[in-house]
Amino acid sequence: MTATLEFRRVLLTGAGGNIGSVLREGLRPGLEELRLTDRVPVDPTEGTSETFVHADLLDAAAIDRAVAGVDAVIHLGGRPDEASFDDLVGPNLQGTFNLFDAARRAGVRRVVYASSNHATGFYRPGDRLIGEEPTRPDSLYGVTKVFGEAIGRLYADKFGLQVIALRIGSFKPRPKEPRELHTWLSPGDAVRLFRSCLTPDPVGYLVVYGVSANTRRWWPSTEAARTIGYEPRDDAEQYAEELGESSERWQGGGFTARDYGGWT
């Protein structure tokens, strides 16, 4: 049975990206409108609740139009990997501010912000993180995700916006390397995760690690995850014999290397 959603008109930024493309079908049931936005054209699925508004995150007026009239925003938009500061500052810093501020001014009730496990990548594999520890970003990309979390915290405390920051693990159809036995987020669990962010009682500000029910996961189920009713089902362990043991020094894996991304 499809859960009744608390929010009926939802904006999905970055709708043309890897995660957004997967989420669309799973998010649509129960919504009056799933409004898609991206800086590139995305075709709404005919005969569904999908609509499309073209908007670049750096165009504040376009973002204002995109958020007008929605109850909640799922913010996936931005640069999804390590890059130079100049390449990240626009979409991941200015664009994230534009989105949160437009949501505040439009009276949006909730923003679900796609953060990243790379906000805490410089913790050791033995550290069991629950989202309350100090951030330890492993990259400039991770720094921009810490910034987004901080903006969300500010807007929750100052303006009463409900914010859920999801520290997404390794979103892939299946794990491809030993590290991902710990960090994998399956497509099915991603849908369950994001839908759960639209169904619970009011929240203030929450941090939830977006990870499947992996036997070896570094980020255990937390009170925050239980608050939103997230119950992952998939487990990377079925791939363990094929992939072997992880030997990572840090949870962030390759992102922690000095030369990762080339900007150094």
141 is catalytic: yes
SS3 per-residue string spanning the chain: CCCCCCCCEEEEECCCCHHHHHHHHHHCCCCCEEEEEECCCCCCCCCCCEEEEECCCCCHHHHHHHHCCCCEEEECCCCCCCCCHHHHHHHHHHHHHHHHHHHHHHCCCEEEEEEEHHHHCCCCCCCCCCCCCCCCCCCHHHHHHHHHHHHHHHHHHHHCCEEEEEEECEECCCCCCCCHHHHEECHHHHHHHHHHCCCCCCCCEEEEEECCCCCCCCCCCCHHHHHHCCCCCCCHHHHHHHHCCCCCCCCCHHHHCCCCCCCC
Beta bridge partners of 13: 37, 75
Report the chain's C-alpha Rg in angstroms. 17
Length of the chain: 264
Of these residues, 113, 123, 141, 230, which one is catalytic?
141
Catalytic (active-site) positions: 141
